[in-house]
């Protein structure tokens, strides 16, 4: 099967390409990239200058299956990811049963193969049952395809336990992804501790409840030599800690969510709209500004002390009142386009780095490039179309979003990916995404 994508605005900083070319796909590989390509046997699609980029990867999603299918399942949540132009996702292990052994990893892979709409890269728990007591079956999980270790949703509360997990697990070469939340300090906190929580009479979630564990985890990573990734970083001070760690040459990275970049605690008012209740909570405007600054300058070649944050799609839902589930619609990349690319704060190439290249690097996945011989794992964007975020447009089981009603620019028009989940032997699959 062959597919000829004509007049594509290809953006791929990995091969220093930013311009209009044709891309020919044959089977599961890119056969040619250049001007005025022809192929009599190929299906031809004229992209008319739309952006063609390496497939986006969300390195932090909750597929909920097995065990919490009422909240979401592999089919629905990968469909939501695909809806947004994401061709790969890394699933979190807080399932039921917990993803803490090879059997559960295989289950996730098998369901994704049968029903998934994008690639699924399972992460595995650091500790059995996410209880922070016994190291999980790390080697078994890696053998079955686990790409990272995390106790996401809880975080490893004991420093000694974290050290033992990192000491043991680093032999497998996988990154440890840290949900930094000191549960003793955070308690039943609901929103960021400060003026807004006081005014509304809500229990505060202090920034220190995140920052203390960021510092602790960095120090233990340095002690053990493990690769560390800070999940959903939300404070300026936490970002400074990552900067300092990278300045020392430590293998430390972090991720930022769109809602922590583009929403603040000031959005929470007397209506007590639970769409703004997330974990970690929305922080101050100063924190959001600091995170955006980190995104902007994170790639400067002469500033290697900067973190390299990766964007991700969704939130960290909790059953308790601390947060609510948010949809994983196609607005996440578009939030970046609208607020950062269209405003001139970052280039489209920088967005590709953040949402395609860096996540693969952090997770140790094979890189995808738009070059002859590369796997044809691609995302297509119409960067100029305007639209309004609406619940009617959500694909996930969840229907909550703090961005409802937002006017955004840019949408995924079509994405393509290799090794169709429903037919692993299929050479090429493409899915049209309606306007």
Residues annotated catalytic, as ranges:
302
Structure tokens at 246: 């990278």
Using CB atoms within 10 Å of the CB of residue 67, give its burial: 0 to 12 exposed, 13 to 18 middle, 19+ buried: middle
Structure tokens at 316: 């960290």
**Residues 6+ positions from 257 with CB-CB distance below 8 Å:** 232, 311, 312, 314, 315
Cα-Cα-Cα-Cα dihedral sign, residues 96, 102, 105, 110: negative
Do 345 and 292 form a contact (C-beta atoms < 8 A)?
yes
Distance in Å from the first CA to the final CA of the chain = 26
DSSP bridge pairs for 45 = 5
**Residues 6+ positions from 160 with CB-CB distance below 8 Å:** none
Using CA atoms, how far residue 60 sits from 208, 254, 255, in Å, is 23, 11, 9
DSSP bridge pairs for 353 = none
Do 343 and 96 form a contact (C-beta atoms < 8 A)?
no
């Amino acid at each position: 099967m062959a597919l000829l994508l004509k007049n594509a605005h290809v953006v791929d900083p990995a091969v220093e390409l930013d311009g209009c070319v044709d891309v020919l796909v044959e089977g599961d590989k890119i056969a040619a990239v250049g001007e005025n390509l022809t192929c009599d046997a190929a299906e031809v699609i004229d992209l008319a200058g739309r952006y063609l980029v390496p497939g986006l990867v969300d390195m932090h999603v909750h597929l909920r299956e097995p065990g919490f299918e009422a909240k979401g399942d592999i089919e629905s949540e990968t469909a939501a990811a695909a809806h947004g132009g994401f061709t790969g996702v890394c699933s979190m292990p807080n399932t039921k049963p917990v993803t803490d052994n090879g059997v559960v990893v295989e289950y996730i892979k098998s369901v994704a193969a049968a029903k998934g709409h994008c690639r699924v890269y399972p992460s595995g728990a650091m500790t059995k049952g996410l209880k922070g007591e016994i190291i999980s079956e790390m080697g078994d999980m890696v053998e079955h395809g686990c790409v990272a270790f995390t106790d996401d949703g809880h975080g490893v509360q004991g420093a000694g336990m974290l050290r033992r997990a990192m000491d043991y697990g680093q032999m497998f070469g996988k990154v440890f992804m840290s949900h930094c939340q000191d549960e003793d300090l955070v308690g039943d906190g609901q929103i960021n501790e400060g003026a807004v929580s006081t005014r509304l009479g809500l229990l505060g979630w202090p920034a220190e409840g995140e920052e203390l564990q960021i510092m602790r985890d960095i120090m233990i990573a340095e002690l053990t030599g493990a690769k560390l990734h800070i999940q959903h970083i939300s404070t300026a001070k936490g970002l400074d800690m990552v900067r300092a760690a990278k300045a020392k040459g430590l293998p430390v990275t972090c991720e930022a969510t769109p809602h922590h970049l583009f929403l603040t605690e000031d959005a929470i008012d007397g209506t007590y709209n639970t769409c703004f209740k997330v974990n970690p909570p929305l922080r101050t405007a100063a924190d959001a500004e600091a995170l955006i600054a980190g995104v902007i300058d994170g790639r400067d070649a002469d500033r290697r002390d900067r973190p390299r944050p990766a964007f991700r799609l969704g939130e960290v839902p909790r059953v308790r009142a601390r947060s609510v589930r948010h949809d994983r619609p196609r607005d996440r990349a578009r939030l970046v386009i609208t607020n950062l690319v269209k405003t001139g704060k970052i280039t489209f190439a920088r967005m590709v780095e953040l949402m395609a290249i860096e996540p693969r690097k952090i997770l140790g996945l094979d890189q995808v490039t738009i070059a002859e011989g590369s796997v044809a794992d691609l995302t297509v964007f119409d960067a100029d179309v305007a639209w309004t975020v609406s619940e009617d447009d959500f694909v996930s089981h969840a229907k909550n979003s703090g961005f409802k009603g937002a006017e955004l620019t840019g949408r995924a028009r079509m994405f393509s990916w290799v090794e169709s989940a429903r037919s692993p032997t299929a050479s090429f699959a493409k899915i049209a995404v309606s306007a």
